[in-house]
Amino acid sequence: MRRTLSWGILAALVATGILAFRGGRPTPSKEASPMLTRADRFQRWQKMTLDQMGYALNLFLTLTVAALGYWSFLLKDPSFRPSPAAGGFMIAAVIALGISALVGLSSVINRLSDFRSTARRARENPEAPDKAELRLRGRVTWRLFYGQIASFAIGIATIAIALLLTYGSKLV
């Protein structure tokens, strides 16, 4: 029964033009392949870009929260006694990491709002925003993402400088 079912599916695919036989082997038919159109390829890569952006947003948000946790752990440690200069860098670090967390959350909220608005537009809802507003939301999401990365990098760099100023003498 299983072999008959497989042959039946294969015959149906050949009959519909999805598969063609070349050299005794079934190969995908060029006219039936959905990956050949430019619009389909664009949509596929656009979806992959949006997915990767979501992963990156979540990664940087997670790393920011972890860095803030490390910052608070350092300050609770009684053996950590930063110099006044290192203390200034620690304050700058918490400000930069706090900004990174807020900008990251804003980016996630803006992105979700963008998806909701796009879905409304796809359903042709009368309350849906126009294309210009959707493009603007997309650009805002990317700018917030870049801001999140920049402020995270500044926060990590200032923590590293504070640690070097505090424990740098132990390295030599």
Residue ranges of the domains in the chain? 1-35, 37-170
Q: Does the pTM exceed 0.75?
A: no
> Is the dihedral angle over the CA atoms 136, 142, 145, 150 positive or is it negative?
negative
53 and 145 in contact (C-beta within 8 Å)? yes
Q: How many other CB atoms are found less than 10 A from the CB of residue 46?
A: 10
18 Cβ partners below 8 Å, 6+ apart?
28, 29, 32
Q: Which residues of the chain have pLDDT under 50?
A: 1-2, 4-5, 19, 21, 29, 32
107 and 144 in contact (C-beta within 8 Å)? yes
Render pLDDT for 89-139 as a digit per residue (tens, 0 to 9): 999 999 999 999 999 999 999 999 888 888 888 888 888 888 888 899 889
Q: What is the CATH number of domain 37-170?
A: 1.20.58
